[in-house]
Amino acid sequence: MIRRPGVAVGRNESSVLMKKLGLDATDIRILSAVQQYGQLSKTKLAEIANISATPCWARLDRLKAAGYIRGYHAEIALDQIADFTQVIVTVSLTHHRKADFDRFEAFIRNLDEITECISTGGGVDYIMKIVSPSLSSFQTLMESLLSADLEIDRYMTYFATRRIKLSQPNIAKLAAKAAK
C-alpha cells in the first residue's frame, strides 16, 4: 500500500468500514486522496488508492453517485487578490422557535459575505465566518442583520488577525471511529 499522510487505511479497518458505512479501505483511500489533492488524473488516483486505473475510476464514479463527493474546490489566496476583514460572529436569537431559526437561516443564505454558518447547541445559536472588504462594510452588514427583524438577541464579534491552521478532517480516522 502507498502511504500518504491522512490517506492510508489498514486492512483491519476495512471489514469494519464495509459493514458500518458500506465503504472499504480502498474507498476511504480514494476519498482521502480527492479531499487532499482535489481532482487527480486517473493514473495518479489509482496509484494513491493502490489499485488499477479502471476499477479506481469506477469506484470514484460510484462514490460521486452515492453523494460522498459533493464537489471540487480550490483554496484561493484571498490576501493576494484584495485586502479584506475576516470576522467570526456568534449570534443568539431572542426566541428558539423553528420559525425563528428558519427565518434567520434563510436570510443569511443570501449574503455572500457570510462564508460559513454553523448552528450550535449551548450558549450561542450560530457561529458565522464573515469575509468583508472593510470594517465599515462589515458594520453595514451587521446593521442589515439587526434591522431585518431576525430576532437577534445578542451577537459577539471576533476579528481574525492571522490563520494558524486550515485543514480537512482525516477521513480514515473518522471512518474507523464511526465504524466502532
The model's pLDDT over 151-174, given as tens digits with 9 standing for 90+, comes to 999 999 999 999 999 888 999 888
Q: Enter the pTM of the model.
A: 0.75
Task: Give the model's pLDDT for residue 6.
Answer: 41
Task: Give the model's pLDDT for residue 175.
Answer: 84
Half-sphere exposure of 50 (CA within 13 A, CB side): 16
> Which amino acid, residue 66?
A
Task: Give the model's pLDDT for residue 125.
Answer: 97
Q: Is-contact 163 154, C-beta < 8 A?
A: no
User: Alpha-carbon distance 108 to 78, whole Å?
Assistant: 22
Task: Give the model's pLDDT for residue 177.
Answer: 72
Q: Is-contact 128 91, C-beta < 8 A?
A: yes
Q: How far out from the chain centre does Cα 9 lie? A: 22
User: Alpha-carbon distance 58 to 39, whole Å?
Assistant: 15
Q: Is-contact 8 1, C-beta < 8 A?
A: yes
- Topology annotation, domain 78-159: Alpha-Beta Plaits (3.30.70)
In terms of CATH architecture, what is 11-72? Answer: Orthogonal Bundle (1.10)
The residue-averaged pLDDT of 132-147 equals: 96
The residue-averaged pLDDT of 60-76 equals: 92
Percent of the chain at pLDDT above 90? Answer: 73
User: Alpha-carbon distance 140 to 138, whole Å?
Assistant: 5
Task: Give the model's pLDDT for residue 1.
Answer: 36
pLDDT above 90 (res 73): no
Break the chain into its structural domains and give their ranges: 11-72, 78-159
b/e per residue, 140-150, with b = 16+ CB within 10 A? ebbeebeeeeb
What mean pLDDT value characterizes the chain?
A: 88
Task: Give the model's pLDDT for residue 176.
Answer: 80
Q: Is-contact 28 60, C-beta < 8 A?
A: no
pLDDT in tens, 5-63: 344 444 444 444 344 458 999 999 999 999 999 999 999 999 999 999 999 999 999 99
User: Alpha-carbon distance 45 to 58, whole Å?
Assistant: 12
At residue 132 the predicted structure's pLDDT band, cuts being 50, 70 and 90, is very high
CB atoms inside a 10 Å sphere around CB 60: 22
Task: Give the model's pLDDT for residue 180.
Answer: 63
**CA nearest to 119, candidates 138, 140, 98, 139:** 98
Task: Give the model's pLDDT for residue 22.
Answer: 81
